[in-house]
Amino acid sequence: MKKFIIAVILTIVSFHITQAQRMLSGQKGLEIGGGLLSKSIKRDYFYNITLSVHTKGGSYWIWRAEYNHQFSDYRGLQIPLETYTGEIGYSIKLLSNPRKNLALNGGLTAVAGYEMINKGDSLLFDGAKILSQDNFIYGAGFDLSLETYISDRIVFLLHGRSKLIWGTDLKLFRPSAGIGLRFNF
């Protein structure tokens, strides 16, 4: 019985002492996320999918595809504004605790994509014409994320992001906030 108790205690202690190796160079992750573009939950939102590849020191490369959906009001009509973007960038670990289960990262990305206004239809119900056009867009993005490991392979993220977009007839500065789950493999 003593041997069994000692074995159980050693097993528990070894699980507590052993730490997973996180943020290893070459480790890949697939992130699924979403969030808000404004205070309106039902109207203005985004979804994204991100591939990340860790480098030395907890930093990582980012490849992201994103869909944004928002509405603009016109005489009681909701005009849909949709944006499809791709981003490539690099995120640097700013802060982390010694066990690497909580980290604050900041990243810069290059953004390119396409925006559609009213699904490409320039005429409205009352005969008014939308002067803004569908456009190819480009720009830069900044991402600040708080990341915490739920398990060795699952990471929960809180994002605060902003984009500067050129080639658009809409807003130049586009902030957003969201959450995500990353699955490391």
Domain boundaries, the chain: 23-184
> Please, are residues 81 and 72 in contact by the beta-carbon 8 Å criterion?
yes
Residue 13 has pLDDT above 60, yes or no: no
Assigned token pair, 40? 């309106």
Q: Which helix (H) or strand (E) holds 8?
A: helix 2-17
User: 19-40: per-residue pLDDT in tens?
Assistant: 556 667 788 999 999 999 876 6
Rg for the chain (alpha carbons), in Å?
A: 22
- More reliable by pLDDT, 72 or 156: 156
Assigned token pair, 153? 């392979």
Query: 3 CB contacts (<8 Å, ≥6 apart)?
Result: none
Give the per-residue pLDDT at 72: 82
Q: Which fold has domain 23-184?
A: Porin (2.40.160)
User: 96-139: per-residue pLDDT in tens?
Assistant: 888 778 899 999 999 999 999 887 777 777 777 777 788 999 99
Long-range contacts for 98-104 (Cβ within 8 Å, ≥24 apart)? 99/19, 100/19, 100/22, 100/23, 100/58, 100/149, 101/22, 101/148, 101/149, 102/146, 102/147, 102/148, 102/149, 103/23, 103/58, 103/146, 103/147, 103/148, 104/144, 104/145, 104/146, 104/147
**What is the rounded end-to-end Cα distance, in angstroms, of the chain?**
40
Mean pLDDT calculated for residue range 88-99: 91
